[in-house]
Amino acid sequence: MCVFNGLEDTRACLESLRSTTEPFRLVVMDNGSTDGTPQFLERFAYPYPLTHARGDSTTGVIAALNRAWRLADTEFLCFLHNDTAMMEPAWLSRLLAALAEPGVGLAGLYGAKRLRGDGRAVGRTIVHSLVPSPTVRAPWEDVVFVDSVCMAISRELMDGLGGFDEGYGFYHGHDRDLSLAVLERGRRCLVVHAPFDHRGGRTRTRGFGADPERERADLTQRQTAVARFALKYRHRLPCDVRGTGERLRDFARKIAGTRR
C-alpha cells in the first residue's frame, strides 16, 4: 500500500482488514504524509505485522509500490488502495484461490474483458466486486486488465516481470501494463467475487474538488500513460478475452439499450 495523507481512509481500510481470515503482513510506503499518518503508523495498533517506510511527496506511486513489494518476504503480493474497505473476511483467501487455478497469473477485484486498440477499456465489458452491486459472476471471471485498486500476484511472477514499469511516470498505466505483461507470459488475469467498498477520489481525474489545474494535470498524465501503453502493446491490442457467444450477447444488449 502506498499512502499520501488520507489518514481517515487509511484507518478505515486497516480496520476492515482486522477480520481477514488469511494471515498476511502489511507493507506501507508513506510518500511524505503531513496529516498524522506517520504517527499513526508508528503507534500501529492492529493484529497483523507492519513494515513501513517513508519517502517524499515527489516520489511517484509506481516507484513507491516497487519499493514496497521488495520489502515483503511473502510468497504472494497484494497491492491495495488505501481508500478501500473489504466487506468479507475471506476476501484474501478468494484472491489466493484464484491464483491457485491453472494458468492464472494475476487476480483482482475490478477489471475489463476488452481493451481497445488505443488502450482504453470498453465500458460494457467491465466487471467488478464493488458494493452494493458487484457485477462479476462468482467465483471469478477472466479479464484482460486488472485495476490497481486491488491486485494479487505471486512474488515469483512479479520478480520475473521485473516489477511495475516505472516509465509510465507518477501513477497511471502500471496496472494495464502489468496485466498485459502477465498475458504475454501465457497466464490468465481474473476478477474475483469478493465485495469491497471504494471511497475513491484520491486517484481519479474528477476527484480533486475545486482544483481544476490539478485535474487537468492528472488527466494529461492519464492520457499520456494510456498512449504509452497502447504503443508498447500495439502487437496485442485490441485485446478481448470474451468467447464468441459472450460477445454476441453483449452486442445484443448494446443494440437493445440503443433502441430504448
CATH number at residue 226: 3.90.550.10
pLDDT number for residue 210 = 53
pLDDT number for residue 202 = 45
- Of 152, 151, 168, which is closest to residue 233 (Cα–Cα)? 168
Torsion angles phi and psi, residue 107, rounded to 5:
-135, 145
- Whether residue 49 is preceded by a cis peptide bond, meaning omega within 30 degrees of 0, is no
| SS3 label, residue 48 | coil
Q: Give burial (CB, 10 Å; 0-12/13-18/19+) of 85.
A: middle
The parent domain of residue 74 ranges over 2-259
Q: What is the dihedral of CA 90, 96, 100, 101, to 10 degrees?
A: 70
pLDDT number for residue 203 = 40
Q: Give burial (CB, 10 Å; 0-12/13-18/19+) of 90.
A: middle
pLDDT number for residue 67 = 95
- Tens-level pLDDT at each residue, the chain (260 residues): 999 999 999 999 999 999 999 999 999 999 999 999 999 999 999 999 999 999 887 789 999 999 999 999 999 999 999 999 999 999 999 999 999 999 999 999 999 999 999 999 999 999 999 999 999 999 999 999 999 999 999 999 999 999 999 999 999 999 999 999 999 999 999 999 999 999 874 444 344 455 678 788 889 999 999 999 999 999 999 999 998 777 777 766 666 555 44
Task: Kindly state the cell numbers that stand for 144.
Answer: 484482460
Position 205, amino acid:
T
Total domains in the chain come to: 1
Torsion angles phi and psi, residue 128, rounded to 5:
-160, 170
HEC secondary structure over 127-169: EECECCCCCCCCCEEEECEECCCEEEEEHHHHHHHCCCCHHHC
pLDDT number for residue 251 = 64
Tell me, what DSSP letter sits at residue 197? E
